[in-house]
A = this chain, B = another copy of it.
Amino acid sequence: MNTYTRLTDQHLAAITQIVGVERFSTRSADLDLHARDQSFHEAHPPEAVVWPETTAEVSALLKLANAERIPVTAWGAGSSLEGNPIPVYGGLLVDFTRMNRIVNIRAEDFQADVQPGITRLELNKELSRYGLFYPPDPGANATIGGMVANNSSGIKTIKYGATKDNVMRLEVVKADGEAIIVGSRARKDSSGYDLLHLFVGSEGTLGLVTEVTLKLHPLPANFSAVLAAFNDIESVMQTVVDIVGAGLEPSALEFLDTETARILNQDKHLGLLETPHVLMEFNGASDDAGLNDALDICKANGATNIKTAAGQEERNKLWQARHHTYETILRIHPGKAQQIVDVCVPLSRFPDMVQFAGQALADNNLFGYKFGHAGDGNLHMNIIYDQSNAAELALVKRVNGVIVEHAIELEGTSTGEHGTGIGKRPYAVKQHGAAIEVMRQIKQLLDPNGILNPGKIFL
């Protein structure tokens, strides 16, 4: 067990020396702004916040913290969903939002070098001038650094992959303050060990990322979309498997359950059948590439209603259903909180997972909405609860745990895209078996004093 030092006046003076008084704060307003993410996990303020602007500053901060045993937690947009950036041991919070420059767009290499504090939407706005984009889209306007830390993914993963598939190279400052480069600018690389993927998804527990080289993709010229209603989840998943199996390469392949369709009707008057739906998108060589084959597959699997859209504008209308789910749930349940379940299982187990999650809710008199990235087997469920009711929150956590354990039994994962953070730590042990010990050894190797984001990933 590591022991940590509380920040003394001498530490504060040394930190101010590194970043200057303007980019350093111990004001409670600043501490409170960095005390919690978007999850239900308990808030915990840091002792001080800094806003570095260079790798050299990050390096100097870590040298100091490592020598003095001060916990260091990195911060992006605060949009994490598993308590990942909550500084549970206090210490120093490193807010990367002032390291938010695009260092270089190498359009002809389909690459960009960016600082970790830039947000996904800022980056994509700039990239669009080159006809390019960075696909991973977790919904929230997360920072690229945060997405690297949590290996975020989202709706477009089925075609473009997760963050880990779209990061080529990182500059990382180790716990001892040394900056290293992992990965390369080559699109293929078989040299040495793959340290790049060790750092992606490590939630700031192995090093702090100070520069990221991203793989870019051409902006699609064509869009089409299909929203199809089915009588049951089995038909939904057969449709998903058939779409993937036909090689149609959708850019999104989503699931909405009956309850979600119902409130979208209430809130948005979409006129959906109140049954499970599949929502898919294609970015083919033409507006209707993929569309006709997809329609045939939907019909063959007993679709009871099909809406189609060709072109970006029509597609956007159809996608409202999916994009506004979170806000719609908020409006339909004013004053209530949502716990977002995030599990991922092999495709053939998805119907079991959906059925089990629904039953777990019903058995405990809870209510929730199931949707998610069905093409990846990634189920989300937003469980509704009253934040002021401690017993209900405890029940929600317990039911979430039951669902996560079932996902692991189905040979899936305890977290598809939100990371291990605080809440998934007990399940990481169960999921990884003896491999968790190797993870622990690597943590010990790279961060022997345990200063980097303590209290995360490992119990």
Contacts and interface: CB of A to CB of B under 8 A. Distances in A.
Nearest to A220: B247
Interface residues of A, number: 93
17 contacts: A108-B348, A110-B245, A111-B346, A152-B190, A165-B165, A182-B435, A188-B416, A189-B415, A191-B413, A191-B414, A191-B419, A191-B424, A192-B431, A192-B435, A193-B442, A197-B198, A442-B442
B428 A192 contact: yes
Interface in A164-219: 164-165, 174, 178-182, 184-198, 200-202, 206, 217-219
A413 B165 CA distance: 18
A37 to B, nearest CB: 15
A95 interface: no
A162 interface: yes
A438 B184 contact: no
Contacts of A74: none
A108 B445 contact: no
Contact of A290 (B188, B285, B420, B442): B285
Contact of A109 (B193, B218, B346, B413): B346
Interface in A138-182: 150-153, 157, 161-162, 164-165, 174, 178-182
Nearest to A342: B190
- Which of A108, A150, A417, A424 is packed against the most chain B CB atoms within 10 Å? A108
Given A186-B416, A190-B150, A438 B110 contact: no
Contacts of A151: 190, 194
- Which of A165, A190, A347, A433 is packed against the most chain B CB atoms within 10 Å? A190
A332 interface: no
A418 interface: yes
B344 A189 contact: yes
B432 A191 contact: yes
A393 interface: no
A317 to B, nearest CB: 23
A191 B247 contact: no
A111 B285 CA distance: 28
A361 interface: no
B186 A131 contact: no
A310 interface: no
Contact of A289 (B164, B188, B285, B411): B285
A386 interface: no
A190 B245 contact: no
A201 B192 CA distance: 8
Contacts of A416: 186, 188-190
